[in-house]
Chains A and B, each alone.
Chain A
Amino acid sequence: MDSDKRRFLRFMGISTGLVIGSGFLGGLSSALRLGTKLGGSALAAQGAVSGSLISSPSALKAGRWAMAIDLRKFKTNDDYRRCIDACDEIHNIPDIPTGQEIKWVWEEPYENAFPEQQNHYLEKGLKDKPILLMCNQCEYPPCVRVCPTGATFKRRDGIVMMDYHRCIGCRYCMAACPYGSRSFNFQDPRPFIKHICPDYPTRTKGVVEKCDFCAERLDKGLLPACVEASNGAMVFGDLDDPNSDIRKLLSKSFSIRRKPELGTQPSIFYIL
């Protein structure tokens, strides 16, 4: 009886040791495998980057890009349409007539754009005046904080950018954005694009999209499309540069921003 118990304990001891030992060895070997794998792909990556990647010499650079929209200069419907169409055309924005619409630049009545700036005795015409809206390119963007994949991120020049390659369509950013600036592709947008502009990709089903201050144009040395189409009603420039057009305009005109109380520090300024 005693000898049986001793044999049993010895057996248990040895088998426990074996299990722990093999687990350790297994972990070691998988770590080694991982090491060689990483080393291998690093080599491949080295091979792939045989040339060097640089930013374009003609790219526009800034500390923090911003836009001032001078609503005094938006008089007719055409003034708004011109800017919106310029954006829609070059960015392949689909025209979906339902609640699943895609918006980069759009217009809303004053009372929707500035709900906290209401009073019963507003200047005549202001209450119904359409306001041109787009992504505010916040200094502290809530969408970037919540994005689980890093698909939306802030560039060094302040632009809140979308990397559609990494977007998984969770729509946290849409819930986080206090300005409704983001749209989700509930379906393949291509059938809703009248003419596909071949220079710019479309989006695909399941990604979120928004205005990105025409980052692709800035990187080529061009101003945003809406600014170009606005005939001077929109001023674009570097907030960090005291001599920039936008700083000069802001220093001599009273401007407001959307929902400043939230502390997101929007980069779009409205001059009424």
Chain B
Amino acid sequence: MYDRGKIIAGLVVFAGLTTLPFWYNIGKARVRPDPRLDTPAIRQMKEKHCIESKRFMIEYHMQMLNGWRNAVVRDYKTTYVSTSGQYFTMSLEDTCFHCHSNEKQFCNQCHSYADVKPYCWECHVKPGEEIAHGQR
């Protein structure tokens, strides 16, 4: 075999480059998302329960919110009747943020982990943001 040294060296470099992402991330275990429910509003609730079951909210909140935005803006339906028969106003500001007022510890935990970047906040006012702007 001619040029054995060059070929083997080349192969080693090639293998190293293609597996670089694995080397780069070795030992850096991603921290599991840990969404916090510790807000004043939730602490005061006797029975800590979102508008639907926890599992449903984790799996489907995005489809739910997408349906809400069309229902509210385009069909002027503003009220959500949950499976348990309770009435809720379909609104991020008026409903969701009352309890989930900790965006960093709640929303961003999973969104950062899954690298999803919802652009809701370009228009919808995050909890606490109005104060930050008022001080400008």
Contact = CB atoms under 8 A, between A and B. Distances in A.
A190 B133 CA distance: 8
> Which one of B66, B78, B83 has the greatest number of beta carbons of chain A within 10 Å?
B78
User: Which of A53, A54, A92, A219 has most B Cβ within 10 Å?
Assistant: A53
Contacts of A165: 69, 73
Contacts of A55: 75-79
B71 interface: yes
Interface range on chain A (Cβ under 8 Å from partner)? 35 or more
Contacts of A49: 64, 67
A198 interface: yes
Interface residues of B, number: 39
A199 B94 contact: yes
B122 interface: yes
A195 B67 contact: no
A201 interface: yes
A51 interface: yes
Interface stretch (A14-22, A23-31, A40-48, A243-251): A40-48
Interface stretch (B4-12, B40-48, B102-110, B123-131): B123-131
Contact of B125 (A51, A163, A202): A202
B68 to A, nearest CB: 8
A52 interface: yes
Interface string B86-120: 00011001100000000000000000000000010
Contacts of B73: 161, 163, 165
A198 B125 contact: yes
B74 A50 contact: no
A182 interface: no
A190 B121 CA distance: 12
A196 B76 contact: no
B123 to A, nearest CB: 4
Given A53-B90, A92-B125, 16 more contacts: A48-B63, A49-B64, A50-B82, A50-B83, A51-B81, A52-B81, A53-B75, A55-B78, A57-B79, A155-B76, A165-B73, A195-B133, A195-B134, A196-B125, A196-B129, A198-B93
16 contacts: A45-B67, A47-B59, A50-B82, A51-B52, A53-B67, A56-B78, A59-B76, A59-B78, A161-B73, A164-B123, A195-B130, A196-B125, A199-B93, A199-B94, A215-B76, A219-B72
Counting from the closest, the 4 A-B pairs by CB-CB distance are: A48-B63, A201-B123, A204-B122, A196-B130
